[in-house]
Amino acid sequence: MNADILNLMVFGLAALTVAVTGLLTMVQLELGPLSRLGGHRRWLLAAALGSGVLAFALKLLIIVAVANFPQFVIDPFIEKVALPLQPTATTPPPGPPRYRWMALPESSAVANSPPRAPLRYSWQALPAQAPAPAHNPTTAAKAALGERLFFDADLSRDGTVSCASCHDLYAKAGADARPGASGIDGQVGTRNAPTVWNAAFQSRLFWDGRAASLEQQAVGPLLNPLEMGMPSAAAVEARVRGKPDYVAAFALSFGASAPITLARIAEAIAAYERTLITPDTPYDRFVRGDLAALAPAQLRGMALFQSTGCIHCHFGPNFSAASVFDDRVPLRAFPVGATPYVQRYDLVGDTGAAPAGNDRGVWRVPSLRNVALTGPWLHNGAVSELAEVVRIMAGAQLGRSGRHLVWSGRDRSLSTLEQAALSEQEVSDIVAFLQALSSDRLTRTAGR
Ligand code: HEC
Ligand code: HEC
């Protein structure tokens, strides 16, 4: 018991004893003889007066107690009264759902930890270095050579386009911010340029996953008539051999006797790309132990990313099923389920790696790192709002949709609309989480 209350009670008891004794003495010696009451009547008088004094003392005691210890005395009563007034379970509180956020201890002392989500999943940070194949180890000299080649527009037919034209590393986070890529002669391709950042962690490259390595991939754009348009491997090699400082850099990277070939050009570019990685994100800091790195909305989004099933396809350190860490099912159908988004964004005009005649596409699962910085999105760059991509994914890939009939007055068409069963709050939480996958550095240079 609180020491103050104990003191008060002892003091009160003493005061009461003094008061009762005084009262008895007064009745016995003064009031009794004066009123000429005899024997037990005196006691009755004493009791009557005494109870008055007692009631007065009790009142004083309550006043003193309430004035001095309001928390102790009043709180229990307030709580009991207020309880039935609280909202019942049927009236949800307004605003975003509030989750209590707690960190699990890392030690074995988790016996009474809260029940885990039904689906167990280990979140992983990006390694600080990208793995390289044995035949093309990443060296500083080779990466420096690759960097020069990456920015060299002379490697295109008319000298106007370099890799960096479509993969603007800093201002556009390694992509080009256009729906379709724009190559030589102003030709516009049908596919969106993905970022080259963290491509080093992808086991399959291109939207349809047709290249199995960065070395193999780099040859593609050089010879693609829509992109850099060089007529042949020999033509690319001749351009590089024509520059003396390239000759010296190749000797430094591959040995003096190694001739300049398209394969080595691609190896140097690939070595450079393996240095283009972004472990500097709020998400990675969080997974490495900085529990304050994510905002509440991002934490809610992270939990939803897991519980709604995005992790079935976008998993591991690079948020992709086509990763160097796990390449078991790199390609997935998209869109899996029928949704009106298919018409709205022409999602099956190009069916990627699907066999000819298929009515839906098959695509490599893309990484989601820096995805908030690399819009517009999807293989055709048709979607320019990240929240809409999340709705499409939830509906088309996870069946999170409700069916609605939609009448369009403009062209008088009636269609069914699969509306996102994820609430707008959930969609925006997932978007907040995707933003946590953006590199701090690229957010500064490309942040929009
Ligand atoms: C004209 C624009 C353009 C140029 C120039 C260009 N690219 Fe690309 N890049 C693209 C497009 C578009 C894609 C996707 C094509 C596809 O999936 O079919 C792509 C895909 C890639 C990918 C695959 C990324 C992934 O996640 O799958 C890498 C890596 C890449 N390019 C590197 C390069 C390099 C290296 C060069 C220079 C040798 C280069 N690009 C030149 C437009 C371009
Ligand atoms: C069944 C596998 C699968 C699931 C589940 C899935 N995705 Fe995807 N996701 C893909 C594929 C495949 C693509 C590439 C689609 C295309 O453009 O062709 C993609 C593309 C994306 C993109 C666009 C990437 C870009 O650079 O344009 C985002 C963002 C995305 N997914 C987020 C999510 C979110 C959030 C969820 C959970 C709500 C999710 N995905 C669930 C397979 C999946």
pLDDT at 41: 81
Answer with the residue of higher pLDDT: 323 or 406: 323
- For ligand 2, say whether the CB of 310 is within 6 Å of any of its atoms: yes
Tell me what pLDDT residue 291 has: 95
pLDDT at residue 320 is higher than 60: yes
- Asked if the model's pLDDT at residue 377 lies above 90, the reply is yes
C-beta of 136 in contact with ligand 1 (< 6 A): no
- Which of residues 246 and 120 earns the better pLDDT score? 246
Res 113: pLDDT: 39
pLDDT at 99 over 90: no
Q: Residue 43: which domain range?
A: 3-84
160 CA to centre of ligand 1 in angstroms: 16
Q: How far is the CA of 366 from the centre of ligand 2 (A)?
A: 7
Percentage of the chain lying above the pLDDT 70 cut: 85
pLDDT tens per residue, range 327-360: 999 999 999 877 888 999 999 999 999 998 898 9
C-alpha 194 – ligand 1 centre gap (Å):
7
Whether pLDDT at 110 is above 50: no
My answer on whether 194 and 231 are in the same domain is yes
398 and 432 part of one domain: yes
Long-range contacts of 380-385 (CB under 8 A, 24+ apart): 380/179, 380/180, 380/190, 380/191, 380/192, 380/345, 380/346, 380/347, 380/349, 380/350, 381/178, 381/179, 381/180, 381/191, 381/192, 382/179, 382/345, 382/346, 382/347, 383/345
Closest ligand 2 atom to residue 381 Cα is 27
Of the residues 163, 213, 223, 277, which should be mutated to test ligand 1's pocket, given the most ligand atoms within 8 Å of the CB? 163
Q: Is the CB of 353 under 6 A from ligand 1?
A: no
- What pLDDT band is residue 21 in, cutting at 50, 70 and 90? confident
pLDDT of residue 145: 98
Contact 279, 128 (CB under 8 A): yes
Which atom of ligand 2 is found nearest the CA of 422?
Answer: 38
Least confident range from 54-58, 346-350, 381-385: namely 54-58
Please identify, among 222, 241, 273, the residue that sits at the C-terminal boundary of a domain.
273
Whether residues 61 and 170 fall in one domain: no
Band (pLDDT 50/70/90 cuts) for residue 6 is confident
At residue 327, the pLDDT reads 94
What is the reported pLDDT for 418?
55
Domain assignment present for residue 114? The answer is no
Shared domain check, 338 and 266: no
Q: What share of the chain is helix, strand, coil (3-state, %, to 5)?
A: 45, 10, 45
Same domain, 310 and 408: yes
Residue among 149, 182, 202, 206 whose CB has most ligand 1 atoms within 8 A, to mutate: 206
372 lines ligand 2 (CB under 6 A): no
Better pLDDT: 111 or 346: 346
Residue-level pLDDT at 72 = 67
Whether the pLDDT of residue 395 is over 90: the answer is: no
The atom of ligand 1 lying closest to the CA of 155 is 38
Residues 212/204, Cβ–Cβ less than 8 Å:
yes
Residue 225 shares a structural domain with residue 336: no
CA of 181 to the centre of ligand 1 (A): 9
Residue 212 included in any domain: yes
Query: 112 pLDDT exceeds 50?
Result: no
pLDDT tens digit string along 153-199? 999 999 999 999 999 999 999 999 999 999 999 999 999 999 999 99
Q: Specify the residue for token string 């000819």.
A: 356
**Smallest-distance ligand from the CA of 227:** 1
Structural domain includes residue 205: yes
Tell me, what CATH number does 364's domain have? 1.10.760.10
For ligand 2, pick from 176, 192, 311, 365 the residue to mutate: most ligand atoms within 8 Å of CB.
Answer: 365
pLDDT-derived band at 90 (thresholds 50, 70, 90) equals very low
227 is catalytic: yes
- Asked if 52 and 196 sit in the same domain, the reply is no
Q: Which atom of ligand 1 is nearest to the CA of 222?
A: 38
Does pLDDT of 117 surpass 50?
A: no
The pLDDT value given to residue 414: 79
Identify whether residues 303 and 429 lie together within a single domain: yes
181 lines ligand 1 (CB under 6 A): yes
CA 348 to mean position of chain CA atoms: 29
365 CA from centroid of ligand 2 (Å)? 7
Has residue 82 got a pLDDT over 60?
A: no
Distance, in Å, from the CA atom of 369 to the CA atom of 284, rounded to the nearest integer, reads 11
**Which ligand places an atom closest to the C-alpha of 150?**
1
How much distance in Å is there from the Cα of 396 to the middle of ligand 1? 26
Q: Does 246 share its domain with 299? A: no
- The overall average pLDDT reported for the chain is 87
Question: Could you tell me if residue 98 is inside a domain?
Answer: no
Report yes or no on 111 lying in a domain: no
Are residues 26 and 34 in contact, defined by beta-carbon separation less than 8 angstroms? Answer: no
**4 pLDDT more than 90:** no
Residues 6+ apart with CB under 8 A from 44: none
What value does the mean pLDDT take over residues 412-419? Answer: 68
- For the chain, what is the domain count? 3
Can you tell me the distance from the alpha carbon of 181 to that of 228, in angstroms, rounded to the nearest whole number?
A: 11
Whole-number pLDDT of residue 268: 98
Residue at 76: amino acid letter: P
Residues pairing with 401 in the sheet: 420
Amino acid 69: pLDDT: 73
Is 379's C-beta closer than 6 angstroms to any atom of ligand 2? yes
Q: Which two tokens stand for residue 18?
A: 């003094």
- Closest residue (by CA) to atom 17 of ligand 2? 378
Q: What is the pLDDT of residue 1?
A: 54
Q: Which atom of ligand 1 sits closest to the CA of residue 227?
A: 1
Q: Which of 84, 111, 127 is the last residue of a domain?
A: 84
Give tens-digit pLDDT for 206-223: 999 999 999 999 999 999
In a shared domain, residues 353 and 377: yes
Residue 287 and residue 266 in one domain: no
Q: How far is the CA of 389 from the centre of ligand 2 (A)?
A: 8
Q: Is the CB of residue 167 below 6 angstroms from any atom belonging to ligand 1?
A: yes
CA 167–ligand 1 middle distance (angstroms): 7
8 A C-beta contact, residue 5 and residue 69:
yes
pLDDT value for 420:
54
Atom of ligand 1 at shortest range from CA of 208: 17
Burial class (CB in 10 A: 0-12, 13-18, 19+), 8: middle
pLDDT of 5 reads 72
> Looking at the domain assignment, is residue 300 inside a domain?
yes
| Catalytic-labelled residue, pool 215, 227, 237, 273 | 227
Distance, in Å, from the CA atom of 138 to the CA atom of 63, rounded to the nearest integer, reads: 81
d(CA 348, CA 354): 10
* Number of residues in the chain: 448
User: Residue 260 corresponds to which tokens in the numbers above?
Assistant: 């300049």
Pocket test for ligand 2, best of 345, 362, 388, 393 (most atoms within 8 A of CB): 393
Q: What is the CA radius of gyration of the chain?
A: 38
pLDDT of the residue at 321: 96
Which of 392, 258, 269, 262 is CA-nearest to residue 335? 392
Write down the pLDDT at residue 354: 95
Indicate which ligand has the atom closest to the C-alpha of 388. 2
Please tell me the predicted confidence (pLDDT) of residue 114: 41
Q: At what angle do helices 233-241 and 262-273 cross, to 10 degrees?
A: 80
Does 148 fall in a domain?
yes
Q: How far is CA 398 from the centre of its chain?
A: 18
pLDDT at 71: 66
Whether 207 and 297 share a structural domain: no
pTM above 0.75, yes or no: yes
C-alpha count within 13 angstroms, C-beta hemisphere, residue 434: 23
Of ligand 1's atoms, which has the minimum distance to the CA of residue 189?
Answer: 12
Boundary-marking domain end, from 222, 245, 273: 273
- Comparing C-alpha atoms, which of 147, 152, 146, 179 is closest to residue 165? 152
126: in domain: no
The reported pLDDT for the residue numbered 16 is: 80
